[in-house]
Amino acid sequence: MNYSRVPHFRSKLRWAASVLLLLLLPGPPEQQASATPAADPAVLIRQLTDGKLTVRDAAVEGLLALGPEALEAIEQAIPAATGEAAFRLPLIAEAIARTASNRMLELEPENSPRSATAAGPFSLAVQRVDRLGISGYRLLVRLQWPPPLEPVLLRLPLVSVVAEGTAGEAVPVPGRQGTVEPLLIAGRHWVDLPIRLGPPPAAVMKLNSLRGTVECWLPGIEHRFMLPLQTTRGGLPPTSSEPGPTRSLAGLSVQCRGWSIESGGPATTTCRVELSARFPEPSEALASHRAWLADRQPQLLLPTGRVVAASDHRVVSRNSQGLTIAASFALTANQLPRGTLVTWRLPLGVQQVPVDFWLRSVSLSEQADGEN
C-alpha cells in the first residue's frame, strides 16, 4: 500500500486526541509519577482528587492505558465528580473514545488486489470496465474495508474524480455535479461504485491515472449506556416532572426522559420508556432518512441480571444531532423491580473520513481483473 500519494488523513484524526492528552497531562515529565498505576478504574478515578499532582497524573495515565475498559466506571463517576476530577474525567473519556476509534483506522486492508490504492484501511480496485458505445465507458470500482469498521454512509462526489490517459490527456467525467451514494448492506464489507467516463481522446485505451475521494462516515467505538428507572416504593414511576437521569460520555448525552407501566391483564405488564441521544456535532450520518441509529434497540436490565429485549420501538423525533425513541417491554409482573436499568448501546460519535484513492494503468480495452 502506497500512502505517499494521498493526503495524510491519519495525522488529522490524531490531532484532536493529542490536544486532549496535553490538557490531561499538564505536569512536566519530571513531575509525573514513575510507579505503575493501579489497574482498577474505580481506584484510579478516586486518585484524581489526591493532593499530589504526581498521583493525579499517574491516575490519568492509568485510565488512558485501560482504554475502553475504563469507560463504564468513568460514565458512572462523572455525575458526582467535583473539582479537578470533574474537569479531567470528560476529557479522559473523549481521549479514550477518539484513540480507540482512530486505531480502527490503522487496520490494514484484507485481501486487497495489488492494484488497489486507497487511504488507511480501505482498498479500492476496478472490478469491471464496460464499453458504452460512442458515449464512453462505465467503470465498476469496488471499495473494501476490514471489520470491525462499519461505515454508515459513503459518497463519491464525481467532482473529485480525475481520469487521465497515458500522456496526461484528460478523460471527461459526465455529470460532475452528481454524487454516487451506494447502498450499504449489513455484514458486507464492500460496495461497488459506478463511475461513468465520457469518450476519451483518440487512441487512448488505458488510463494512466484514476483518482478521487470517497467521503466516508464512520461510527466510533460503542458504549452501553445504563440509566436507572427511578421508582417509588410501589415500584411505579415517580410523579415528579423533573428531567430523568442523564449520562454523558465523550460528548454524547443520553437521557431517560420518562417511563410508565400499563397493565395488560393479571399476568402481563407493558413498560414504556422514552430515551434521547444527542451527539456533540451535527452529522449527515444522522439525517432523518438514515435508519442505522434508529434501529438500535434498548434493553431492560433487571436486578436479577435478566435482560428484557424491547418488544417494539419507534422514533419520536430526530434531527442531525440525534433522536428520541420510545420503546416497549413486556413484563410478567405488575411492578418494575427497584434497581431496574434501561440500557442503550450507541457509538461514541461519528467521524467523517476522506478516503483518497489513486489507481494506475486501468485498461479500457477489456474487462478488469476481479470481475464477478
pLDDT at 265 over 60: yes
pLDDT at 63 over 60: yes
- pLDDT score recorded for residue 327: 97
- pLDDT score recorded for residue 121: 83
pLDDT at 337 over 60: yes
Please tell me whether residue 173 adopts helix, strand or coil conformation.
coil
- Predicted TM-score (pTM) of this structure: 0.76
Mean pLDDT score of the chain, rounded to an integer? 83
**Cα–Cα distance for residue pair 133/323, rounded to 1 Å:** 48
Start-end of CATH 2.60.40 domains in the chain: 123-219+353-363, 222-347
Domain 123-219+353-363: which topology?
Immunoglobulin-like (2.60.40)
- pLDDT score recorded for residue 7: 39
pLDDT in tens, 347-367: 988 988 899 899 999 999 755
Confidence of residue 64 (pLDDT cuts 50, 70, 90): very high
- pLDDT score recorded for residue 14: 45
Q: Which of 35-39, 103-107, 329-333 has maximum average pLDDT? A: 329-333
- The architecture of the domain spanning 222-347 is Sandwich (2.60)
- pLDDT score recorded for residue 266: 64
- pLDDT score recorded for residue 79: 80
Confidence of residue 332 (pLDDT cuts 50, 70, 90): confident
- pLDDT score recorded for residue 239: 67
**Cα–Cα distance for residue pair 160/6, rounded to 1 Å:** 13
Confidence of residue 2 (pLDDT cuts 50, 70, 90): very low
Count the neighbouring beta carbons within 10 Å of the beta carbon of residue 123.
Answer: 25
pLDDT at 113 over 90: no
pLDDT in tens, 79-109: 888 888 988 998 998 888 888 877 776 766 5
Confidence of residue 9 (pLDDT cuts 50, 70, 90): very low
- pLDDT score recorded for residue 235: 64
- pLDDT score recorded for residue 334: 67
Largest pairwise CA distance in the chain:
84
**Cα–Cα distance for residue pair 318/279, rounded to 1 Å:** 12
**Cα–Cα distance for residue pair 203/175, rounded to 1 Å:** 24
Sign of the four-CA dihedral 258, 259, 260, 264: positive
**Cα–Cα distance for residue pair 137/197, rounded to 1 Å:** 5
pLDDT in tens, 267-320: 678 999 999 999 999 999 999 888 899 999 999 988 888 899 999 999 999 999
- pLDDT score recorded for residue 261: 85
User: For the packed helices 83-104 and 9-24, what is the interaxial angle rounded to 10 degrees?
Assistant: 160
The pLDDT of 66-71, averaged and rounded, is: 91
Q: Which three cell numbers stand for residue 44?
A: 484510579
The pLDDT of 45-67, averaged and rounded, is: 93
**Sole residue written with cell 450499504:** 184
Query: Beta 246-249 vs 222-228: how paired, if at all?
Result: unpaired
**Cα–Cα distance for residue pair 255/26, rounded to 1 Å:** 32
Count the neighbouring beta carbons within 10 Å of the beta carbon of residue 195.
Answer: 18
How far separated are the first and last CA of the chain, in Å rounded?
23
The answer to whether 107 and 121 have CB atoms below 8 angstroms apart is yes
The answer to whether 215 and 157 have CB atoms below 8 angstroms apart is yes
pLDDT at 217 over 70: yes
